[in-house]
Amino acid sequence: MNTTPSHFPLNAWYAAAYDVEVGRSLLARTICNQKLVLYRQIDGTPVALEDACWHRLLPLSMGRLEGDELVCGYHGLVFNAEGRCTHMPSQETLNPSACVRSFPVVEQHRFLWIWPGDPSLADPALVPDLHWNQDPEWAGDGKMIRVQCDYRLVVDNLMDLTHETFVHGSSIGNRAVAEAPFVATHGERTATVTRWMENIEAPPFWAGQIQHARGHVGPVDRWQIIRFEAPCTVTIDVGVAPAGSGAVPRGENPGDRSQGVNGYVLNTITPETGNTCLYFWAFARNYCLDEQRLTHQLREGVATIFREDEFVLEAQQKAIEEHPDHKFYNLNIDAGAMWARRLIDRMVDAERSDAPGAGPTVIPIRRAG
Amino acid sequence: MNTTPSHFPLNAWYAAAYDVEVGRSLLARTICNQKLVLYRQIDGTPVALEDACWHRLLPLSMGRLEGDELVCGYHGLVFNAEGRCTHMPSQETLNPSACVRSFPVVEQHRFLWIWPGDPSLADPALVPDLHWNQDPEWAGDGKMIRVQCDYRLVVDNLMDLTHETFVHGSSIGNRAVAEAPFVATHGERTATVTRWMENIEAPPFWAGQIQHARGHVGPVDRWQIIRFEAPCTVTIDVGVAPAGSGAVPRGENPGDRSQGVNGYVLNTITPETGNTCLYFWAFARNYCLDEQRLTHQLREGVATIFREDEFVLEAQQKAIEEHPDHKFYNLNIDAGAMWARRLIDRMVDAERSDAPGAGPTVIPIRRAG
Amino acid sequence: MNTTPSHFPLNAWYAAAYDVEVGRSLLARTICNQKLVLYRQIDGTPVALEDACWHRLLPLSMGRLEGDELVCGYHGLVFNAEGRCTHMPSQETLNPSACVRSFPVVEQHRFLWIWPGDPSLADPALVPDLHWNQDPEWAGDGKMIRVQCDYRLVVDNLMDLTHETFVHGSSIGNRAVAEAPFVATHGERTATVTRWMENIEAPPFWAGQIQHARGHVGPVDRWQIIRFEAPCTVTIDVGVAPAGSGAVPRGENPGDRSQGVNGYVLNTITPETGNTCLYFWAFARNYCLDEQRLTHQLREGVATIFREDEFVLEAQQKAIEEHPDHKFYNLNIDAGAMWARRLIDRMVDAERSDAPGAGPTVIPIRRAG
C-alpha cells in the first residue's frame, strides 16, 4: 500500500540503472511512479520507453527486441526507439496516435539518467557530478538496493552521520562522530555539512585502511564533508590522516591530505514511488588503486553497513505511515537534513506553481570549477 | 485488492466445477462474488448452498456432511439441501428465518452449472452447449485454472487468435495467423470469428497431429472458427486438412474435412470476483479416439499453452488496475472481442434496468440444429 | 487490512505478556492499537513505554538497554523508565517536550498487566483475579497465541461451550454439552454461565483424568462454570466427579467435589487492534500436583484444542469482514456471550460519553470474598 503521497520534482535527472544493467534485453524500472522499459540499440544507445503497450497496456518489457525496435509480447505491435508504432498485426494503416512515451536518457559516470518531466528542459549539464565513479585517479565499485521508504529518509540519513555511532557502531561509528561539532552551509540547490574530528582514535574501518595504505597506526584527524545536490544526490568526502599531519584546513590553507586516505561515498537515490526508492551507491578511494581485492572487500563492507541503514529506514517508514499526522521535532544534528528538505520542497513547489503559459522553472546548479 | 468493479450478468449459468470435483465432501467456490459450498447428496444429486452459516457466518464448507445434510463446524446447526435449518443446539424451536440461500444447479457436459441470479429464470435449456466434452465421437480432457484477471480479458484473448503468433510462437502460432484475413459476425447472444489460412505450412502442433493421424506431410488448409456465447463461453473449432483437399467451404458447399484433423477447444470462464476467474477448458478431437496417451499429451500440451496466456493476462490485469481511466484503442483484430464485450454489456445493462414490477430480461439463445 | 473498527475500553488492565517473556531485552507488543516496548530495570521492575522515538519515530524496541535506560537505535537519544529523554547527541540542552508515553504496569498472577487509558484511574485492585495461576494448591501452565480476530469473538467462543461438541469432538466435546441446560446470570461487570451434566459418559479427556487421578471408571457428573469479567477475562471452572458422589450443588448445599477432579481454564484476551488479539491462557488443576509430565501433557493438549478454535475464529473474522452490515441472530446458547457483549459495550459507551470536565467512569468490580 502506498500511503505516502509522492513528493519529488519531475524536472530532474534520476539514476535509473547502472550502465551494465542495461543491454540487449528489456529491463523494467519504475522512476517517479512512471513504469519504464530500458534497453540499448545495436550501437549501444540507451532507450527508455513507457512500459505499457498503446493497444492493451501489456508491459512492453514482456516483449522482445527486433533490431532497434521493441515487439509487444501480446499482439506484436512494434515500437521504435522514439516510441512510435511502426507495425500492427493484420492491418496496413497505422493509427497516427499509436505511440508510447519516450524519455530523455543520458549516460554519465556509470549511470543511466532519466528525466521524467518536461523533455524540453532536460539539459545534460544538470546531471549530478559523480565523476569519482569513472576517474582513473579513483578506484571503486558500488551497488543498487531497493529500499521500502520515501527517498527523503535516505537523504536525511546521509545528511546526519551521527547515526553511525548507533547504527554502525562496529565499523565506522564511534562516540567522536556523535559529539563532534559540524558546520552546515547551503546554496541554491546544494547543502553541505562539514565535520572535522581532530586527534581521535580511528574507528575500526578507518584504522584498517590507513594502516594498510600508509602504514600509520595511532590517532588521526578524521573528516566527513557531506554535499547534497537537490533533489537526491549526496556525495560524501571522507577520510583520515595522521593526527597533526596537516590535513585540517586552517583559514586560507585548504589542508594537505597527502599522508592520509580519502574516499568518496557516492549516493543517488531515485524515488520509485512515494514510499519506495532505488538507492544507487558507490565507494571510490584514492589509494591502493590496483588492489582488486580491496575494491571487492570495500564494496561488500559498505554493502553490509548499508543493510544496517536499510533495516532502520524501512522501520522508520512504517512508523511514519502509522503516524500520518506526526509533526517532527528537529535537533541540532538535523541542520543538514532540514536544508536538504527545504531545497526539495522548493523544487516541488516551483513545479506546482508553474502557471500554464509561464515557462517552467528549473533551479540552476552552480558547479565549482 | 479487488479494484476492478464487477461486470457480469447474474442471470446466467456459470460452470462452478468439473463433475469429478464435487462428491461426498464439501467444496468451497466463489462464483460472481458469491461464496458457495458444493456437495452431492447420497444419490449423487449436486447441491450448492451459500457458504456462510445463518448463525455466526462460519463457512459451512468447514463443517461436515451427515447424510444429505450439512452440519456447521462451529455450533452444529444442520441445513438440508434446500438450505433450510433442520436442527439447532440446545433448543427445540427453530427460528423460521433460519436458512441459507440455495442455488439452482445443473450437471451437463461434464460441468456443474450454477445460476447466481433469480432462480425463477434458471432454465436448463440456457446452459451452453459443450457436448463435445461428452460425445463418443470425440475424445479429450481438460482442466481448470484460476486466473487473476477479469474474466473478460480471457474472452478478449480467445476472440483474437492473432496473439498465438506472439505468445505461442513455439507451438500453435505462426505468422500466417497474424496476417490472415478473417470474418466476424454476430447474433443476439453470440459472436463468431472465422479465419481460413489456405495452403500454408502447418505450425509445429498441427504438423504433428496430421502426420500422426493421417500420415500427411506438407502444406495444409487451416481453420479457426471461434464462437462466443454470452457471457463467457467460447468454443473454437480448429484443425487442418491437406491443402486443396476440399476442406475450405465454397459458396453452398460446406467443405469436406474428412482428410483432415479436427479439434474443439472448449472454454468457459466463470468470474469469481471482478478481477479473478475460474477458467475451465477442454480439448476434444475427432481422430485417434482410443489413444489415451494422446489424450494425456494433448491435455498437458494445451495446459502449457494456456500457462503462457495466464502470464500475459495477469500482467494485463495489473496494468489495467494501474491505469483505471485508460480508454482502449481497438485494432481490426479486435472485432470479435468488441462484439463479445457488447453482448456482455447488453446482458448487464438489461439486468440493471429491470424495473421492479417489470419482469426481468433473459436474452434468448437460438441454437443451430 | 484492519476493517473492523476497534471496540474496547481503554480504562482497563490488559495482559501484555507472561512474566517470563519480559527481561533485560526489549520486547515489542501492541495493546489496543498502541505500540509498546517492554523491559525490566536492573532490579526487575517492569517498564512499558510507547514504542516510537520522540525524534524520528524509530521503534525504541530496535534500540538497546543501558542500565535502566533505553537508547534509541538510530540517533542515540536516551529515555529513562518514565519515558523522559535524558540525552541527545551533539547538544547540551534537552528539549523539555522530549519524552515518550509511559504506561502503568502491574505484575500479578504470572502476567504483566498494562493500562492503556487514563493513568490516574489505573487501580491495581482492578486487575482480574487469576490466582490459580500462582497458587501452591494448583498446578499448571499456559501459553500465548496471536489470533487474527476481534478479541470479542474469542469471548463469544468461551461463553458458549456448545461448540466443544462440534469443534473439539475428539477431546472434550460430546453430545451432552450441546444438549445440557444451563443457567446464565450477570452482575455489573461479570456474567456467568453454569452447566451441570449429570450422570453422563465422560468425554475422552476427562475420562482419562479421573481414571488417572482417582481411579474412577464410569459415569460422571460434569460441570462447566464460565465466569466473564469485562472486558476480556474468562475463567472456567471445569471438572468431573463420579456420578452421584455429591458434587452437584443442591439448594444451600454447595456440593462436595472431593472425589472428583477440578481444573480452571484461565483466559484473558488482549486486543492488539480491532481485528487481532493476543490470547493468553493457562490450565490449572487441583490433582496430581507434582506430576511435571502431566503439566506438560495438559498444556500441549489444551494447546491442540485451542488451535482448533483459532482455525474457526479466524475464518469467522474473515466472514464478518466480508459481510460488514450483517445483523446476527442469537440462539439460546448465546445468552452468556450476549451478556458479555453488553458489558463490554457499557464500558466503551461510558468512556465515550465522559464529558470533558465530568470525571471519567470506571465500572467497579465486586469481588467475592
- In this structure, what CATH number is given to the domain that contains residue A90? 2.102.10.10
Nearest-CB residue to A315 (from C59, C71, C97): C59
* CB-CB neighbors (< 8 A) of A181 in chain C: 90
The mean-pLDDT minimum among B308-312, C158-162, C363-367 falls in C363-367
Nearest-CB residue to B162 (from A35, A89, A98): A89
Nearest CA in chain A to B182: A90
One-letter amino acid for residue A219 of the chain:
P
Residue C368 lies in a domain: no
Average confidence (pLDDT) per 10 residues, chain A, 369 residues: 72 97 97 97 98 96 97 95 94 90 98 97 97 96 96 95 78 73 92 95 93 97 96 97 96 94 97 97 96 94 91 96 89 93 95 66 59
CB contact under 8 A, C312 and B59: no
pLDDT in tens, chain B (369 residues): 444 567 999 999 999 999 999 999 999 999 999 999 999 999 999 999 999 999 999 999 999 999 999 999 999 999 999 999 999 988 888 988 999 999 999 999 999 999 999 999 999 999 999 999 999 999 999 999 999 999 999 999 999 888 887 777 777 777 777 777 889 999 999 999 999 999 999 998 999 999 999 999 999 999 999 999 999 999 999 999 999 999 999 989 999 999 999 999 999 999 999 999 999 999 999 999 999 999 999 999 899 989 999 999 999 999 999 998 888 888 989 999 999 999 999 999 999 886 555 555 666 666 554
CB contact under 8 A, B329 and A98: yes
Residue A58 lies in a domain: yes
Kindly tell me if the per-residue pLDDT of C144 is higher than 90: yes
Residue A345 pLDDT: 95
Q: Kindly state whether residues A97 and A165 are assigned to the same domain.
A: no
Instruction: Tell me how crowded residue A112 is: count the other CB atoms within 10 A of its CB.
Output: 24
CB contact under 8 A, A89 and B331: yes
Residue B7 lies in a domain: no
Domain final position from B109, B124, B139: B124
For chain B, list residues whose CB is within 8 angstroms of any CB belonging to chain A: 156, 160, 162-163, 165-167, 178-182, 311-312, 315-316, 319-320, 322-323, 326, 328-329, 331-333
Interface with chain B: mutation pick from A35, A51, A55, A57, highest number of B CBs within 10 Å: A57
CB contact under 8 A, B329 and A97: yes
Q: Which letter does DSSP use for residue A248 in this model?
A: S
**Which residues, listed in sequence order, are joined to residue B48 by a DSSP beta bridge?**
B38
CB contact under 8 A, C89 and A179: yes
Q: Kindly state whether residues B202 and B171 are assigned to the same domain.
A: yes
Residue A3 lies in a domain: no
CB contact under 8 A, C89 and A333: yes
Q: Kindly state whether residues B174 and B312 are assigned to the same domain.
A: yes
CB contact under 8 A, C162 and B88: no
| Whole-number Å distance between alpha carbons of B27 and B31 | 13
CB contact under 8 A, A95 and B329: yes
Nearest CA in chain B to A62: B312
One-letter amino acid for residue A226 of the chain:
I
| Whole-number Å distance between alpha carbons of A64 and A198 | 57
CB contact under 8 A, B75 and C333: yes
Nearest-CB residue to B55 (from C167, C182, C329): C329
CB contact under 8 A, A181 and C90: yes
Q: Kindly state whether residues B161 and B93 are assigned to the same domain.
A: no
Q: How confident is the model at residue C369 (pLDDT cuts 50, 70, 90)?
A: very low
For A99, residues 6+ apart whose C-beta sits below 8 A from its C-beta are A54, A79, A82, A83, A84, A85
| Whole-number Å distance between alpha carbons of C238 and A369 | 85
Question: Can you spell out the DSSP letters for A139-170?
Answer: EEEEEEEEESS-HHHHHHHHH-TTHHHHHSTT
* CB-CB neighbors (< 8 A) of C273 in chain A: none
- In this structure, what CATH number is given to the domain that contains residue B265? 3.90.380.10
Residue B2 pLDDT: 44
Mean pLDDT of chain C: 92
CB contact under 8 A, C98 and A329: yes
CA distances from C64 to A309, C25, C67, C179 (A): 16, 7, 10, 56
Instruction: Tell me how crowded residue A304 is: count the other CB atoms within 10 A of its CB.
Output: 12
Give the 3-state DSSP-derived string for C40-80, with helices as H, strands as E and coil as C.
ECCCCCEEEEECCCCCCCCCHHHCEEECCEEECCCCCCEEC
Nearest CA in chain A to C89: A178
Residue A359 pLDDT: 58
Residue B45 lies in a domain: yes
Q: Kindly state whether residues C92 and C200 are assigned to the same domain.
A: no
* Domains held by chain A: number: 2
Residue C95 pLDDT: 87
Residue C227 lies in a domain: yes
| Whole-number Å distance between alpha carbons of A285 and A261 | 8
CB contact under 8 A, B62 and C319: no
Residue C4 pLDDT: 59
| Whole-number Å distance between alpha carbons of A326 and A100 | 40
Q: Are C306 and C145 a contacting pair, CB within 8 Å? A: yes
Range of the domain at A112: 14-124
One-letter amino acid for residue A100 of the chain:
V
* CB-CB neighbors (< 8 A) of A329 in chain C: 54-55, 95, 97-98
CA-based R_g, chain A, Å: 23
* CB-CB neighbors (< 8 A) of B71 in chain C: 166
Task: Read off the pLDDT of residues C286-300 as tens digits, 9 standing for 90 and up.
Answer: 999 999 999 999 999
Residue B365 pLDDT: 62
Q: Kindly state whether residues C168 and C245 are assigned to the same domain.
A: yes
CB contact under 8 A, A52 and B323: yes
* CB-CB neighbors (< 8 A) of A322 in chain C: 35
Residue B167 pLDDT: 77
For B246, residues 6+ apart whose C-beta sits below 8 A from its C-beta are B255, B256, B259
Residue B1 pLDDT: 40
CB contact under 8 A, B91 and C332: yes
Of the candidates A185, C188, C352, the residue with the CA atom closest to the CA atom of residue C361: C352
Residue B336 pLDDT: 95
Nearest CA in chain C to A195: C90
Nearest CA in chain B to A54: B329
CB contact under 8 A, B71 and C162: no
Q: Kindly state whether residues A189 and A264 are assigned to the same domain.
A: yes
Interface with chain B: mutation pick from A58, A93, A100, A273, highest number of B CBs within 10 Å: A58
Class of residue A67 by CB neighbours under 10 A (exposed 0-12, middle 13-18, buried 19+): exposed
For chain C, list residues whose CB is within 8 angstroms of any CB belonging to chain A: 35, 52, 54-59, 62-63, 71-76, 88-91, 95, 97-98
Measured between CA atoms, how close is B312 to chain A, in angstroms?
7
Instruction: Tell me how crowded residue B80 is: count the other CB atoms within 10 A of its CB.
Output: 18
Nearest CA in chain B to C161: B75
Measured between CA atoms, how close is C362 to chain A, in angstroms?
29
Q: Are A58 and B316 a contacting pair, CB within 8 Å? A: yes
Measured between CA atoms, how close is B85 to chain C, in angstroms?
13
Residue C184 lies in a domain: yes
Q: Kindly state whether residues B217 and B68 are assigned to the same domain.
A: no
CB contact under 8 A, C89 and A178: yes
Task: Supply the pTM of this predicted model.
Answer: 0.90
Measured between CA atoms, how close is A98 to chain B, in angstroms?
9
Interface with chain A: mutation pick from C35, C50, C57, C65, highest number of A CBs within 10 Å: C57
Residue B2 lies in a domain: no
Q: Kindly state whether residues B87 and B152 are assigned to the same domain.
A: no
CB contact under 8 A, B315 and A76: no
Task: Read off the pLDDT of residues C316-355 as tens digits, 9 standing for 90 and up.
Answer: 999 999 998 888 888 989 999 999 999 999 999 999 886 5
CB contact under 8 A, C333 and B89: yes
Q: Which letter does DSSP use for residue A327 in this model?
A: P
Task: Read off the pLDDT of residues C1-45 as tens digits, 9 standing for 90 and up.
Answer: 444 567 999 999 999 999 999 999 999 999 999 999 999 999 999
Residue B90 pLDDT: 82
CA dihedral A234, A328, C92, C52 (to 10 degrees): -100
* CB-CB neighbors (< 8 A) of C73 in chain A: 166-167, 312
Of the candidates C59, C85, C84, the residue with the CA atom closest to the CA atom of residue C74: C59
Instruction: Tell me how crowded residue B95 is: count the other CB atoms within 10 A of its CB.
Output: 14
Measured between CA atoms, how close is A178 to chain C, in angstroms?
6
* CB-CB neighbors (< 8 A) of A179 in chain C: 89-90
Q: Kindly state whether residues A118 and A156 are assigned to the same domain.
A: no
**Backbone phi, then psi, for A240, in 5-degree steps?**
-140, 155
Kindly tell me if the per-residue pLDDT of C56 is higher than 90: yes
* CB-CB neighbors (< 8 A) of A182 in chain C: 90
Chains near C with 3+ CB pairs less than 8 A apart are A, B
* CB-CB neighbors (< 8 A) of C56 in chain A: 156, 316, 328
| Cα angle B228-B234-B237, degrees, rounded to a multiple of 5 | 100
Kindly tell me if the per-residue pLDDT of C275 is higher than 90: yes
Of the candidates A189, A256, A184, the residue with the CA atom closest to the CA atom of residue A225: A184
* CB-CB neighbors (< 8 A) of C58 in chain A: 312, 315-316, 319
Report which secondary-structure segment, H or E, holds B46.
Answer: strand B46-50
Q: Kindly state whether residues C108 and C146 are assigned to the same domain.
A: no
Nearest CA in chain C to B98: C329
Residue B181 pLDDT: 84
Q: Kindly state whether residues A232 and A314 are assigned to the same domain.
A: yes
